[in-house]
C-alpha cells in the first residue's frame, strides 16, 4: 500500500511516497518525471524494504524555489541525505535515473558513508560524461537539447499543444507499445501542470549550465559534484538501455576507472526509459544486486 507524506528538510518541503518497512531503498527520478516513475519498483521492493520514491525539489508536489541558484548540486545532494535522515536511516540503498542519477553519483562521491549500495539507470558518471561531451561528436549532438532547455523559451516550447513535446519525449514510443497507459499520460500532465513544476525541472539545467560546447571556442560543462576526487567508493550497479537517444553507450567506457566495485547490466533493446519498458528485468537486476553480499 502506497502512503503519501512530506518531509521538511534542507529548507524545502519534499513530497514522497513510501511502501513497506525495513531497510531504506530510496528511488530518485530525473527530468521530466516525478515519484510515479518508480511505481513498479515501490510495489516490488515495498514487499521487504521501506521503498521510498521522492519528488525532487522543483517537481510535482515538492517545493519549487523560484531562484535558479537553489538548484545547485550541493543542495540537491543534501535534500536526499536529509530526507533519508528524516526517515530514520543513516545508510540506504540509492536507486536513481537521469538527473536523479547525477545527484546520486554526487551523493555517493561526497558521502560514501551514507550509501550502502548505488544503482544507476542511464545516467553518466560526471567524469565520463565530461569526457564524452568534450570528445564525442555523437554525444555532443545528442546533448544539444540541454542548451535549449536553459533558454527562456524552454517552458513555452515544452508546454505547446497541451504538453505534446514532453509527452513525446517520455512516452512517444511507450504509448504505442503499451509501456505507458492513458492513465500514465494523465498523471504526468497533472504533475507537469503543478504551478512552477516545469520551471523547477528546467532549473536543474540552468543552475548547472550543463551541455556540449555552445560554440567553436566554448568548453562543455558537465555535472560538478564539488569534490577533488570523483571516485565512487561504494558497490555500484549501472543498468543501461543501449538505445538511449540522449546518452550514448560510450558513457560506460572507462567507468571502472572511477568505480572500482562496478557491475554493468546492459539492456540492448532498452531506451532511456528502460525502467518503464522493462520493469521486471530492471527489478530483477536491482534485487540480485541488493541481495549480493
Q: Does residue 74 contact residue 48 with C-beta atoms inside 8 Å? A: no
Mean residue pLDDT of the chain comes to: 96
pTM of the model: 0.97
Task: Look at residue 229 in the predicted model and tell me its pLDDT.
Answer: 84
| pLDDT tops 80 at residue 217 | no
Of 205, 244, 276, 285, the active-site residue reads 205
205 carries an active-site annotation: yes
C-alpha closest to that of 43 among 288, 293, 283:
283
| DSSP-based three-state secondary structure for 200 | helix
Distance CA(45)–CA(6), nearest Å, equals 20
DSSP 8-class letter at 43: H
By CB atoms closer than 10 A (0-12, 13-18, 19+), residue 125 is buried
272 carries an active-site annotation: yes
Query: How is the chain split into domains, by residue range?
Result: 3-291
Residue 102 banded pLDDT, cuts 50, 70, 90: very high
Of 15, 49, 71, 98, the active-site residue reads 98
72 carries an active-site annotation: no
Opening angle at CA 22, ends 97 and 284, nearest 5: 45
Task: Look at residue 214 in the predicted model and tell me its pLDDT.
Answer: 82
Of 29, 89, 179, 272, the active-site residue reads 272
Distance CA(109)–CA(146), nearest Å, equals 24
Over residues 110-126, the pLDDT tens digits come to 999 999 999 999 999 99
| pLDDT tops 80 at residue 293 | no
Strand partners, 266: 240
Tell me yes or no: is domain 3-291 CATH 3.40.50.1820.
Answer: yes
Amino acid at each position: 500500500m502506497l502512503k503519501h507524506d512530506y518531509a521538511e528538510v534542507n529548507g524545502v518541503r519534499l513530497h514522497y511516497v513510501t511502501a513497506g518497512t525495513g531497510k531504506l531503498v530510496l528511488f530518485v527520478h530525473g527530468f521530466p518525471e516525478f515519484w510515479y516513475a518508480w511505481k513498479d519498483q515501490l510495489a516490488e521492493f515495498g514487499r521487504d524494504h521501506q521503498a521510498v520514491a521522492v519528488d525532487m525539489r522543483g517537481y510535482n508536489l515538492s517545493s519549487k524555489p523560484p531562484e535558479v541558484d537553489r538548484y545547485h548540486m550541493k543542495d540537491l545532494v543534501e535534500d536526499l541525505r536529509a530526507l533519508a535522515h528524516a526517515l530514520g536511516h543513516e545508510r540506504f540503498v540509492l536507486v536513481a535515473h537521469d538527473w536523479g542519477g547525477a545527484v546520486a553519483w554526487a551523493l555517493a562521491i561526497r558521502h560514501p558513508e551514507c550509501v550502502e549500495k548505488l544503482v544507476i539507470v542511464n545516467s553518466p558518471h560526471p567524469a565520463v560524461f565530461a569526457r564524452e561531451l568534450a570528445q564525442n561528436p555523437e554525444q555532443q549532438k545528442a546533448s544539444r537539447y540541454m542548451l535549449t532547455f536553459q533558454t527562456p523559451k524552454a517552458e513555452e516550447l515544452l508546454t505547446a499543444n497541451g504538453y505534446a513535446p514532453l509527452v513525446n519525449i517520455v512516452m512517444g514510443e511507450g504509448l504505442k507499445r503499451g509501456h505507458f497507459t492513458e492513465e500514465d499520460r494523465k498523471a504526468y500532465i497533472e504533475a507537469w501542470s503543478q504551478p512552477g513544476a516545469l520551471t523547477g525541472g528546467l532549473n536543474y539545467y540552468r543552475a548547472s549550465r550543463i551541455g556540449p560546447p555552445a560554440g567553436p571556442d566554448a568548453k562543455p560543462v558537465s555535472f560538478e559534484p564539488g569534490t577533488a576526487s570523483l571516485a565512487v567508493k561504494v558497490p555500484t550497479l549501472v543498468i543501461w538501455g543501449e538505445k538511449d537517444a540522449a546518452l550514448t553507450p560510450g558513457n560506460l567506457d572507462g567507468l571502472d576507472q572511477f568505480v572500482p566495485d562496478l557491475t554493468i547490466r546492459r539492456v540492448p533493446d532498452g531506451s532511456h526509459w528502460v525502467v518503464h519498458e522493462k520493469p521486471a528485468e530492471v527489478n530483477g537486476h536491482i534485487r540480485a544486486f541488493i541481495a549480493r553480499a
